[in-house]
Structure 1
Amino acid sequence: MLRITAGKLANALRGTVSGTSRVAAVRCLHGTEESAEEFDKRYEKYFSREGIDGWEIRKGMNDLLGMDLVPSPKIIEAGLRAARRVNDIALAIRWLEGCKDKCGDHQATLYPFLLEKISPTLKELGVPTIEELGYDKPELALKSVYDL
């Protein structure tokens, strides 16, 4: 009985919440809506915490990648530094891949801009880009029939 009622309630709530209000709800978790600068500072502070471990870094990154936004270069750099502090190069590369995927349809313009902004940090930390590793092209992919 409880399961049926909970299912109906979830369906009713799912129909009333639109896409824009979900994003607003995520941004309003702390009581008031925060500006973009405050949002950036909050996540920079989160990734810069002393004693942060790999699980907490992954949680912060997953939370950011689950939102309807592309992280700012400052947040990307803070995430890279946090991954480097716990000595997890794979996490740093996956973070770059996730940020690239979040660019969506604007990947041709937005991703090069992000790389330009974060390239000094990448060089400082010794983190290679996805393109340097060859991860941007599938290794065993067949040529497209349209390219023949």
Structure 2
Amino acid sequence: MLRAAAGQLSQVIRGSFGVTRIAGVQSVRNSSHSTETDVEFDARYEAYFNRADIDAWEARKAMNDLLGMDLVPEPKIVSAGLKACRRLNDYALAIRWLEGVKDSCGPHVNTIWPWMVQEIRPTLTELGVETPEELGYDQPELALKSVFEM
């Protein structure tokens, strides 16, 4: 209760003196933006996945970071991620990576995903990895029919 009263009192005092924001804090926060180009970004993630000593946690972290961004990873990054999954002997992670990349295509999945599969097909065949559609993961296994379709 004392904390809430003190917070309200500090707002009243700031308002009466006209203090709204400290300019130094704002400039420090805005100065931390990166000026990395797209080519440097792609090279950084490709080099990260191509590391020989990458472990499962690092691979999952990088994949999760990439899928959390508002972008579709380049095919060379996807291929490097698949090769990292192969070095880790984690087939499930490779399939999950492909599902995440497909999901990141968003509403343009019908145009971007076929192109992506076409670009990474040599890597898929080299590693023996199938796409989620080839595994049947695009169709629900135990789904019930809709009452409107009967």
Fold in common (TM above 0.5): yes
Quote the Cα distance in structure 2 between the aligned partners of 1:85 and 1:34. Answer: 29
C-alpha displacement of 1:32: 3.3
How far does residue 68 in structure 1 lie from its aligned partner after superposition?
0.6
Q: What's the CA shift string for 1:115-138, capped at 9, x where partnerless?
A: 000011000001111011100110
Q: Deviations over 1:21-73 (max 9, x none)?
A: xxxx9xx96x6311111110000001011210000000000000110101110
Shift of residue 141 of structure 1?
1.6
Number of the residue aligned with 1:57: 59
Once residues 149 and 75 of structure 2 are traced to their aligned partners in structure 1, the CA distance between those partners, rounded to angstroms, is 35
Per the TM alignment, residue 143 of structure 1 is displaced from its structure 2 partner at its CA by 3.1
- Structure 1 length as normaliser, TM-score? 0.77
Aligned residues: 123
TM-score relative to the length of structure 2: 0.76
Percent of aligned pairs with the same residue? 63
Over 2 Å off, 4+ runs? 142-148
Distance 2:55 2:117 in 1: 26
> Could you say which residue in structure 1 is the equivalent of 2:137?
135
Structure with larger Rg: 2
Give RMSD over aligned pairs. Answer: 2.0
Name the SS of the counterpart of 2:120 in structure 1.
Answer: helix
> 1:35 & 1:146 partners in 2: Cα distance?
51
Alignment equivalent of 1:42, drawn from 41, 44, 48: 44
Gaps of at least 5 residues in structure 1 are 6-24
Counterpart position of 1:99: 101
Output one character per residue of 1:57-109: Cα deviation in whole Å (capped at 9) or x when no partner: 00000000110101110110010000100100000000000001001100111
Counterpart position of 2:74 = 72
Residue by residue over 1:4-26, the C-alpha shift from the partner in whole angstroms, topping out at 9 and shown as x without a partner, is: x8xxxxxxxxxxxxxxxxxxx9x
Closer, same or farther in 2 for the Cα pair 1:118/1:147, shift >3 Å?
farther
